[in-house]
A and B are shown apart, each in its own frame.
Chain A
Amino acid sequence: MIFKLVWESLRFRPVRTLLSILLIAVPVTLILTLIGISRGFLDDSRKRQEGVGADVIVRPPASSFIGFNGAPISDKIVDLVGKQPHVVEATGTVVQPIGGFDSITGIDLTAFDRMSGGFEYVHGGPFHGPNDIIIDTYFAEQRHVGVGSNLKLFNHEWRVTGIVEPGKLSHAFVDLASLQDLTDQQHKVSQIYVKLDSPGNANAVAAELKKLLPDYPIFTRQEWESLISVNNIPLLATFIHVIIGIGVVIGFAVVSLSMYMAVLQRTREIGILKSLGASKRFIMNLMMWEALSLGFGGTIVGIVLSFGTRAVMKAIVPASLPQAIVPDWWWIAGLIAIGAALLGALYPGWIAVRQDPIEALAYE
């Protein structure tokens, strides 16, 4: 019967109910979108690293994860690495951030093709001149460009010569030498990708390279991919915690306000229930079940909305911020929303419990 009371109360004030649910859904969507974007971005990065086909990666001394601070590695090191036993190919790349989450990558196309197995061209073909650029389908979609289009990136006019299937290192590629010239970093690279005669030699070669280049962080592909995680992106974990905190506060405030209004509106009903012998626990239960329903409704709506934000992300920025759907976070976001809702119902519930039944019955 308590469920019927809760249900009828929610049904009887549909605007309040729907508004509360929608407002609780906001932080749920926020959390799921944020987690989804982080995970989508990381998965995408990992996949693209995998697409390079390197077995070992050499990073610049004192480099932070993912952040690229110019191109501090001399290409003499690339040659040195290339001469080590078991090394089939060593190629340097230059990564140039172009704002937001995007970057263009300078590659030695021949070496890169050998290492990665070559690009799959959807339209056009490889770059030839210093101002040519190859982009992947996501990037083309996001920037609305095709083969032959001009593309202004990093204060430079590029001509699109080819559009390729995504999944290899970057979304946009230009000739290594021309990017080095453009950024005034002749004979320098951002990192070195190393392909071996057999992936099974990765650990041994990485160990040898560490002896050879003690200042350089060196990773096997496996180590490198495992580093692509939330905790290794500066401030991301903190940011996620802040958003979760905001979610709790919003959920708490919404339910608190909504339940408080409901208690005031229902003063008389609560008086009636008390005159019928409803105990404090009964009244509190009523409020808690109602809050729980609102929290649950908000969770469901929030999950549905996270599919909506994904669709929006996909339509606007398919290359920069791919958003994953994260079912393993649904229940966490749900617990946060419901917990906040229950917390929010405590004070209004206490007000309801404390109400004098005679005054409540006299209430108009």
Chain B
Amino acid sequence: MNERASAGAIIEVRDLRKTYGHGSAAVHALRGVNLRVQPGEFVSIVGPSGSGKSTLFHIIGGLTPPTAGSVVVAGEDISAIGDSGRTKLRRESVSFVFQKFNLLPNLTAADNIRVALSISGRPIDGFQKDFEEILRMLGISERLTHKPSELSGGEQQRVAIARALATRPAILLADEPTGNLDSRNSLAVLKILRSLNDRFGQTILMITHSSEAAQYGHHIVHMSDGCITERSAVVPPGDAI
């Protein structure tokens, strides 16, 4: 192992296992995953349904503890920090974007963002200008007073991205962010993620079923049956031949 690379990684997963249930009902969702992500990387994760992609995100994002193995995220050893530690991780270091948007239905877009800020306890002060730029980039500045039911799917997902970024997470975990969007909105969201990465160096992990969408990352990680089977670099269009 290269010590320096390891020290610089923002996500360091070693021999990660996750088993749901016990005995004959046990499901081995992850069977020894190893993954290292550097700050500022944009990693696409692809693989068949049930291969453990979401489970990997849930563990990296601190929604559920690993069964075995070591997971270090933003300097925290997830297997050692317990429930409240994982809550703190979600609050401070990791943000999710889901396929189903998951906005709070009775709050306006602006209030959805405010809730995240309020929970994180982090003032937006020094970040205000950047965040306004992000809102412009997302194209939802005019839609903030609306409730989710008054927004299109594409708009809802862009609000969800704004909410995820308002707390300045070290890592953005996007689980099929374009899964519920038409191709035009999918393209818009993918471009936004890519420019967030380019412009702000936002570390992004994105699960996708589309091989085209996967091309927006720097690397593509292939999963199958609870294991990572391949990691490949995306060849920039200009370099291909």
Contacts and interface: CB of A to CB of B under 8 A. Distances in A.
B87 interface: yes
A361 interface: yes
A358 B90 contact: no
Contacts of B120: 276-277
Given A8-B107, A12-B106, A361-B98, A277 B92 contact: yes
Interface in B105-141: 105-107, 111, 114-120
A261 interface: no
A16 to B, nearest CB: 13
B24 interface: no
B102 A8 contact: no
B71 to A, nearest CB: 16
B interface secondary structure, majority: helix
A129 B54 CA distance: 98
Which size class do B's interface residues fall under?
20 to 34
Interface in A349-363: 356-358, 361
B104 interface: yes
B119 A278 contact: yes
A275 interface: yes
A331 interface: no
B88 interface: yes
A277 B63 contact: no
A9 interface: yes
Interface in A3-34: 4-5, 8-9, 11-12
Contacts, number: 71
Given A277-B90, A357-B63, A358-B63, A2 B118 contact: yes
Contacts of A5: 104, 107, 115
B84 interface: yes
B224 interface: no
B111 A4 contact: yes
A272 interface: yes
B106 A8 contact: yes
Nearest to B95: A276
A363 to B, nearest CB: 11
Contacts of B103: 272
A93 to B, nearest CB: 67
Question: Which of B87, B91, B96 neighbours the largest number of chain A CB atoms within 10 Å of its CB?
Answer: B87
B96 A1 contact: no
Contact of B102 (A12, A275, A280, A282): A275
B58 interface: yes
B90 A276 contact: yes
A361 B102 contact: yes
A272 B88 CA distance: 15
A274 interface: yes
Question: Which of A274, A275, A357 neighbours the largest number of chain B CB atoms within 10 Å of its CB?
Answer: A275
Contacts of B91: 276-279
B195 interface: no
A280 B227 CA distance: 33
A361 B167 CA distance: 20
A279 B91 CA distance: 9
A4 B113 CA distance: 13
B118 A272 contact: no
Nearest to B117: A1
A269 interface: yes
Contacts of A12: 105-106
Given A4-B111, A8-B106, A8-B107, A276 B119 contact: yes
Interface string B59-100: 001011000000000000000000010011111100110100
Interface in A334-364: 356-358, 361
A269 B112 CA distance: 11
Given A4-B107, A269-B105, A275 B63 contact: yes
A273 interface: yes
Interface string A253-276: 000000000000000110111111
Contacts of B84: 279-280
A273 B102 CA distance: 10
A12 B105 CA distance: 9
B64 to A, nearest CB: 6
A277 B115 contact: no
Contacts of B118: 1-2
7 contacts: A1-B117, A4-B107, A272-B103, A276-B115, A277-B87, A277-B89, A277-B92
Given A9-B106, A280-B87, 11 more contacts: A4-B114, A8-B111, A273-B104, A273-B115, A274-B87, A275-B90, A276-B91, A277-B120, A279-B91, A358-B58, A361-B102
Interface of B: 58, 61, 63-64, 84, 87-92, 95-96, 98, 102-107, 111, 114-120, 163, 167
Interface of A: 1-2, 4-5, 8-9, 11-12, 268-269, 271-280, 282, 356-358, 361
A-B pairs, 3 with minimum CB distance: A277-B91, A1-B118, A277-B90
